[in-house]
A and B are shown apart, each in its own frame.
Chain A
Amino acid sequence: MTLELSNVTLTYARRGRAPLSPVVGASLRLEPGQIVGLVGESGCGKSSLGRLAVGLVAPTSGTVVLNGRNLSVVGPRARPLVDLKLQMVFQNAAGSLNPLRRVGSQIADGMRRTQPKSTHRKKAIAILERLGMPGSIVDSYPGQLSGGQRQRVAIARALAPDPEILVLDEPLASLDASAQAQVANLLQDLAVRDGLGMLLISHDLSVVKHVADRVLVMYLGLVVEDSAARELWEKPLHPYTEALIRSAPSTETNRVLPPPLPGEVGDPAHPPPGCRFHPRCPYVFDRCTTESPKLTFVSGGRQVSCWLRSSREITPAAVPAPLVED
């Protein structure tokens, strides 16, 4: 099963105001056993792209194709059964659990259309155990579980219909470091052992680069870089990716403040002319202020949308050293 988004744009018309496009011309492909990370900060459009990917909202232009068919944007009961193989785990998933219903019953929600009732309980227990939790939790209420456990129950609900592709929106955000490590390992395991394809949406590049095979970076509605995870981390191409990597403080240095990125993201309804990142880019030159770069293939299957970096074929710049203060 493959999910392919081609040149997808989402635009909202607004009465009396400029139209707003949270996503512009994005493309991505999900395949079984592969984890694709989608990173970017607030307002970049990654959550919107996630919702386009599962057909919760229809693209204004471009296509979303699941196994060769256009993904239909319809209500839950009209959705063709085969589309159940594509599932989503939403942001603040633990908050999506009904506090008054037992865990087992909520997991079984994903089985009601396709599997006989007599199998539900056994299957729910099997899924919980697959996610590293005791099967006895099937009779618990969400309030009796820790944050990390609730997050895994939310993932269990998405696994109930035996999906082949999973889209997860910030699955690690509300978890402590240890629970993050646990859930991250689990997602990798689901990809490797069970062959699930995944789109992992997150603002935390340091965890995503560990878990994902491939990473897409978004800025103000555009995909600005698309590379294998390791290469992206070791030799980022896009100046925004460099900034994201450099901004994260690390326990590996002491009393070294990460350099701030000047300026603010700006209004997606009124993006800057030319390259959308140019007002904040340390390498900006003339062309950047007037012409929008396009996502271009550079060496080794990597893509970047940058006049500086796509005009050279090889040798992307290495990450510069952080500023040392005091």
Chain B
Amino acid sequence: MIGSRSTPVISVQNLVVKIPTSEGFSTIVDGVDFEIQGGRVFGIAGESGSGKTISMRALLGLLPDGCVVTGKAIFDGRNLLELGPSALQRIRGRALALVQQDPTTTFHPMLSIEQQMTDHLRYHLGLSRPDARSRALQLLREMRIPDPAGALAAYPHQFSGGMLQRIAIASAISCEPKVLIADEPTTGLDVTVQAGVLKLLDDLRRERDLTIVLITHDLGVMAAMADTIAVLYAGRVAETGTTEQVLTKTRHPYTKALLDALPKSESSQRKLTPIPGTAATAGDPPPGCAFHPRCRFARGSCSVNKPALLKAEEGHFHACTVDPFYSAV
């Protein structure tokens, strides 16, 4: 339950990220707040262009040169956004770990799995080569990778996508991080393989009290995994709350439209419901509310004022001044 731990593991306040373009700066993340509770799964939902990946990269200090970042990201009593490169280097891979989409790009194709897994065990934990090797072996066993010794000697191309993603996860948690950021970890994997990887992530969360930040556009995966969700649109938070609140007591028209666009299992009509227009990209949003040109509830004021986050109920916030789904009951 939200609120059972009062101090969040990561507290992001008014995060703003601007990237340099030929015409000056473009605001990709436009004032985003979140509180990530320990031992839980925090979901960041959004489509491409929503700013979800850039906001996490800002926390890890992995932005391209020339970006301007303001705001706070408090982790372990320090503001990540103000740390220098060597301090971040010690945190990345150790306290804060990352798993990305497409494990074939996570690994170097010409180095063995052993080389790639022991590499940062030796860097972060100072382990000797044999110690790092046995640690890696043990981790592969825990991830239920068949023939772990053979896997260490093998190369990335010899594994299927699902297996390689498990190895990537093993590698990411090898230094016992507090937080694992998983950016589209199962996108592109077959659905039965995805189920296995999601279960693995959830088992790790429970066994190690790991905090997971799950970034994905797939609301089905969000519903299965996340405890709390923030829905991003054009670099801003459209709605945030527990998974139950956001998916079943939806208040923002964008969240509702996203849910409506999905095929449902029970459905008499064969037509699906797309969202009209094209997605606004962070960096060049329409004036006022970024979603208003595509919103069937838009009123005059929607194109003028950028909406602030309003409270729907305890822990549940949304950024829609029209609030068309509110029911007084």
Contacts and interface: CB of A to CB of B under 8 A. Distances in A.
Contacts, number: 132
B220 A248 contact: yes
B196 A261 contact: yes
B49 to A, nearest CB: 9
A177 interface: yes
B264 interface: yes
Given A146-B278, A257-B199, A176 B47 contact: yes
| Interface bin, chain A | 35 or more
The secondary structure that dominates the B interface is helix
Contact of B191 (A41, A210, A233, A255): A41
Interface residues of B, number: 48
A251 interface: yes
Interface in B197-227: 198-199, 202, 206, 217-225, 227
A278 B300 CA distance: 61
A105 interface: no
B220 A41 contact: no
B195 A261 contact: yes
A254 B248 contact: yes
A252 B265 CA distance: 9
A256 B244 CA distance: 12
B163 interface: yes
Contacts of B127: none
B163 A264 contact: yes
B275 interface: yes
A20 interface: no
B68 interface: no
B192 A244 contact: yes
A210 B48 contact: no
Contacts of A256: 223-224
Nearest to A184: B272
Interface stretch (B10-18, B115-123, B254-262): B254-262
B243 A254 contact: yes
A250 B221 CA distance: 7
Contacts of A261: 192, 195-196
A177 B278 CA distance: 12
B101 to A, nearest CB: 12
Contacts of B100: none
Nearest to A248: B191
Cβ-closest 6 pairs across A and B: A181-B272, A41-B190, A249-B224, A181-B274, A260-B196, A249-B220
18 contacts: A41-B191, A176-B279, A177-B217, A181-B273, A182-B274, A185-B272, A188-B271, A204-B191, A209-B263, A210-B272, A211-B270, A243-B192, A249-B218, A250-B265, A251-B247, A254-B243, A257-B195, A326-B206
Interface of B: 47-48, 160-163, 190-196, 198-199, 202, 206, 217-225, 227, 243-244, 247-248, 257-259, 261-265, 267, 270-275, 278-279
